[in-house]
Structures are given as C-alpha cells and as structure tokens.
Amino acid sequence: MHLTDPYVREAQAKGYRSRAAFKLLGIQERDRLIRPGMTIVDLGSAPGSWSQVCRELLSVKGPADSGRRVHGRIIALDMLPMEPIADVEFIEGDFREESVANELASRLHGEKVDLVVSDMAPNLSGVGAADAARVMHVCELALEFSMSHLKPEGALLVKTFQGSGYSQLVTEFKRHFVTVAPRKPPASRAQSSETFLLGRRLKTSKDLEKP
C-alpha cells in the first residue's frame, strides 16, 4: 500500500517529508487558510511536512533576480527533534511545559498568531476507548493553546478521529469559534476515521451572549 500510494510517491518527488503535506494542501485549496504575512504555529510538527507547506504558502516573489522569500513567520514545536527547515523556527519540547511556553512567548514578543495547525496524534494502543481519550486530550491541548495565542480573527486546524468523544470535541470548538467545520481532504485515506476540525474566528463576549 505504502509503495503504491500516489501521495507517497508525489511527496518523494516534491521533497516533502511525508504524505501528510497533501492533507494540508487539500484543506488549503478549499479554505485558503494560509496567506503571506501570517504568523503560524505548527504544533507537533515533526517530521516537518506541514511546516514545509506553510513555508511554501508564505513565500512571495522578491525583487528582481532575488527569488522567492518568506513573508510571515512559522514557529514549529515538537517533543521530538526535527531536521531544520529554512525560515522555520523550531522549539523542541512539550508546549505544556513552562520553559517551552516561555520560549514561545519570548519569540512572539507579545504578538498573537493568525493560525495554529496540529497534525499531532498520540501513540495508539488499539484499545478503542483509551485511544479515543488520548486523541481528544491532544485536541483539547491544541484548543487550550490556541485560546491563549490566537488573534480574534485567527483559526485552529487539528487532526482528530471520528468516534467516541468526537461530538464532544465539536461542541467544545463551537464554544470558542464562530464557525466550525470538519474537513476530509482527498489525501486522507477513505477507510480511515481520520478527519480534521477547523475553527475560525474566536467568539467575542457578544457572540457568547447570543442564544
């Protein structure tokens, strides 16, 4: 399956570190999430294919003969090491830890971010209920992180899985975002329960007052 997967072959041909790059590209094609000038945080970034895509989408044509340059910022975080990517700032560590949070804050200089993306998935055990709980926990951590760091017009995109806990996660997203939508890009295998949840625009106090 792996060797015949067209996305695996295309990822190798285009220099992406994994086929997951095409999942983000598929969502980008529909939702136009990423635009030059943005500040993006990539949670659970290793091996780095989503950061590679973000870098491409932030690139703009520079002055004559200077090639393309990145207009914006990408800060990637992961507990695992990640091979460097040009123009991507990488912080190795658990974003729940104070030292990592402080490092991120110092790099942001008090600025909020436009987009948080997360292709994180926990190590799965094969035990349905336990795995569902792990997946939801990771998504909730990404949501909690976003509440602290997103601009009012910002967006959060997370990987999750259909099944136990999914409806509760959607409800939680709807508590915080004006629009919430599931996404199943073409590169996400049809037989997989994998899906992506996209929340856009943080709710204001006025939104929260609406019935």
Active site residues: 159
Burial (CB < 10 A; 0-12, 13-18, 19+), residue 22, is buried
Q: Which residue has the tokens 């939801």?
A: 136
**Strand arrangement of the beta sheet that strand 177-183 belongs to:** 88-92, 73-78, 39-43, 113-118, 150-161, 194-202, 177-183
- Report the interhelical angle of 21-31 vs 6-14 (nearest 10°): 90
Q: Map residue 32 onto helix, strand or coil.
A: coil
* Short-list 201, 204, 87, 91, CA closest to 154: 201
What tokens were used for 62?
Answer: 């520079």
Q: Map residue 193 onto helix, strand or coil.
A: coil
How many helices (DSSP H) and strands (DSSP E) are in the chain? 7, 9
